[in-house]
């Protein structure tokens, strides 16, 4: 039962005017305490403690991202559909890619991005259009030779020509690299290969 003495405890004068600020201060203090606790857990010699801390951090991050999206979607949903900003061609492609990864239906995709299912269907029908005026476009990437290349051969002269088109060497020849293979969304049939420098 509630201690009756608590109900008689006087509150600070003017507290209604400061209650919102107090809420923000409490949340900040709680965040600081949680961060300190997670820091201790992350450095624990116990692997299960480290995994539990990482699991807790990721769950909180997921909830915070959901809240961010809820706030943004609520604001956007208040606008008349005809006055909402259009998605760019590359954003449309990103939405279709997310639809494929998620396995969403037209209705699910449309709900997530505040458009009509027929709009998503139209994008799908016009996916293979070519040219600058295409409704759906891939994100442009600079040519590979516009960025410095990694040269693993230690005796390769920096002034020597490489396969055309020529690209400068990143740092000095002889850089060690590792080949990292991961899988998109955990799907074994969608490998992602990266070349990373080794310190």
Residue 175's pLDDT is what? 77
* Res 117 pLDDT > 60: yes
Structure confidence by residue, pLDDT tens digits, 145-166: 667 777 777 777 766 666 566 6
* Res 193 pLDDT > 90: no
- DSSP for the chain, please give it: ---HHHHTPPPPTTHHHHHHHHHHHHHHHHHHHHHHHHHHHHT-S-HHHHHHHHHHHHHHHHHHHHHHHHHHHHHHHTS-GGGSPPPPHHHHHHHHHHHHHHT--HHHHHHHTTS-HHHHHHHHHTTT--STT-SS-PPP---GGGSPBP---TT--TTS--SSSP--BSSSS---EEEEEEEGGG-TTSEEEEEEE--
pLDDT confidence tier of residue 179, bands split at 50, 70 and 90? confident
Q: Is the pTM of this model over 0.85?
A: no
CA dihedral 128, 130, 134, 140 (to 10 degrees): 100
Quick one: 99 exposed, middle or buried, by C-beta within 10 A (0-12, 13-18, 19+)? Answer: buried
Structure confidence by residue, pLDDT tens digits, 15-42: 777 788 888 888 888 888 888 888 888 8
Measured CA to CA, the distance from residue 142 to residue 165 in angstroms comes to: 13
Measured CA to CA, the distance from residue 141 to residue 147 in angstroms comes to: 11
* Res 7 pLDDT > 70: no
Q: Which of 124-133, 145-154, 160-169, 186-195 has the lowest mean pLDDT?
A: 160-169
């Amino acid at each position: 039962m509630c201690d009756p003495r608590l109900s008689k405890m006087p509150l600070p004068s003017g507290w209604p005017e400061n209650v919102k600020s107090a809420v923000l201060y409490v949340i900040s203090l709680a965040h600081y305490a949680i961060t300190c606790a997670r820091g201790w857990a992350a450095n624990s010699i116990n692997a299960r403690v480290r995994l539990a801390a990482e699991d807790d951090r990721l769950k909180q991050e997921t909830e915070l991202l959901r809240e961010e999206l809820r706030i943004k979607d609520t604001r956007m949903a208040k606008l008349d559909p005809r006055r909402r900003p259009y998605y760019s061609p590359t954003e449309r492609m990103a939405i279709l890619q997310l639809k494929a990864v998620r396995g969403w239906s037209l209705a699910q995709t449309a709900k997530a991005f505040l458009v009509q299912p027929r709009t998503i269907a139209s994008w799908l029908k016009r996916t293979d259009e070519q040219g600058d005026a295409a409704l759906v476009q891939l994100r442009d990437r600079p040519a590979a030779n516009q960025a410095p290349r990694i040269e693993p051969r230690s005796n390769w002269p920096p002034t020597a020509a490489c396969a055309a088109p020529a690209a400068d060497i990143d740092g000095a020849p002889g850089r060690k690299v590792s080949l990292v293979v991961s899988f998109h969304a955990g799907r074994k049939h969608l490998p992602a290969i990266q070349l990373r420098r080794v310190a």
